[in-house]
Amino acid sequence: MARPLTPKLSPARIAKAALELVDAHGEFTVPDLAKRLKVSPSSLYNHVDGKADIIELMRGQAVGAIALPDHSAGLDWAPVIREIAVQYRNSYARHPRLIPLLTAYSVRDETTIRMYNVLADQFVAAGFGPARVLEAITVLDNFVLGSALDVAAPEEVWEPGEAATDSLRAALAAGLGRERRADEAFEFGLDLIVAGLERAAAAGP
Amino acid sequence: MARPLTPKLSPARIAKAALELVDAHGEFTVPDLAKRLKVSPSSLYNHVDGKADIIELMRGQAVGAIALPDHSAGLDWAPVIREIAVQYRNSYARHPRLIPLLTAYSVRDETTIRMYNVLADQFVAAGFGPARVLEAITVLDNFVLGSALDVAAPEEVWEPGEAATDSLRAALAAGLGRERRADEAFEFGLDLIVAGLERAAAAGP
């Protein structure tokens, strides 16, 4: 029997091909994706229900690289949150153009939900009430996704020409071109946010 | 004399048409933009040097709605920073798909630079050294852009199905569906960050 010319369709193959399209063009369509996978749109629909499903596959692929900390190991909640935020930002930094697609769709992917489970459990352990738990998760999400976009910024993030004041000019001279520019700013911000959450937790639910 | 069938090209018209393409497709090409404006690509090149220029026009258009606080009015730096962050996030929330394009190009637009000038001046007034000024600006930027994406999220940000733990389920029950969900989380995070910056400023440069 003849062997198929292309490997069998699988969720992982679909996610990989869709991610390649999004990385290159900031968007994908089901017909383009079918073409890239060398299958008909109808065979693709045997594996996924449509665009929202494919976005969930990409979300799972992006988050799959995160090793969730062992939070049964008696770690305090703050270091667990911090560790997840660092890995989460590094994962999405590899696919900056995926980010506005992900935020435009409801999170259903199970791998991603497992990450949010750990975040929610930790914020409950911190003593936050349910509404505050969701706010804390959202604050972390917003900062992580914005910081992931910053990793993809050009080396000269700002080129203000003559328009900069002395303050901005001095800041750019001191900060741009540092090898860990984006990392240092992310760590500074994460420190501010985690310390703020610790103070909020100490103040009660 | 016959009147032209389409209005004359201007930076504002170019920015508006490019924004419409990005809002709809997450991307634009110079040929598509020329087609939408009913001009030839070469007439477009009489007004802009290329894609990076058009992105700067869109950046200026998005930021143009921000009324910079009168920081000569004896206001303390923290409320000025807070006020800019609120308006900055509201402006970009109208164009979520523009965000990864903006972060992929160096900031050159003068309207935007004027905003960064005020931020830099205020962080210098807070007592930060130049490298810390750039970190503080970047932390604010990252949080604002991530929060702008969250405004565009669907009402059901998470649909975890059976995969959610009790903590996550309770958080979603308490937090989703609130009319000001994204606003409340943004304000909570902005409070944490500004309070953290105030503490960092009090600790010295």
Domains of chain B (ranges, CATH numbers): 68-202 (1.10.357.10)
pLDDT at B164: 96
Greater confidence (A108 vs A8) lies with A108
Q: Is A60 within 8 Å of chain B by CB?
A: no
Alpha helices in chain A (DSSP H): 11-25, 30-36, 41-44, 51-63, 77-93, 99-103, 110-125, 130-151, 166-175, 181-202
Burial group, residue A70, by CB count within 10 angstroms (0-12, 13-18, 19+): exposed
Say yes or no to pLDDT of A204 above 90: no
Q: What is the pTM of this model?
A: 0.93
pLDDT at residue A119 in the model: 96
Q: What is the mean pLDDT of residues A74-94?
A: 93
CB B106 within 8 Å of CB A159: yes
* B146 close to A (CB below 8 A): yes
Q: How many CB pairs under 8 A join A and B?
A: 273
| Minimal CA separation from B7 to chain A, in Å | 30
Q: What is the pLDDT of residues A2-42, one digit of tens each?
A: 665 566 889 999 999 999 999 998 889 999 999 999 999 99
B147 interfaces chain A, CB cutoff of 8 Å:
yes
Task: Indicate if ipTM > 0.85.
Answer: yes
Residue type, B116: Y
Question: Which residues of chain B have a pLDDT value below 50?
Answer: none
Which chain A residues touch B96 with a CB distance below 8 Å?
100, 103-104
Is the pLDDT assigned to residue A1 strictly greater than 60? no
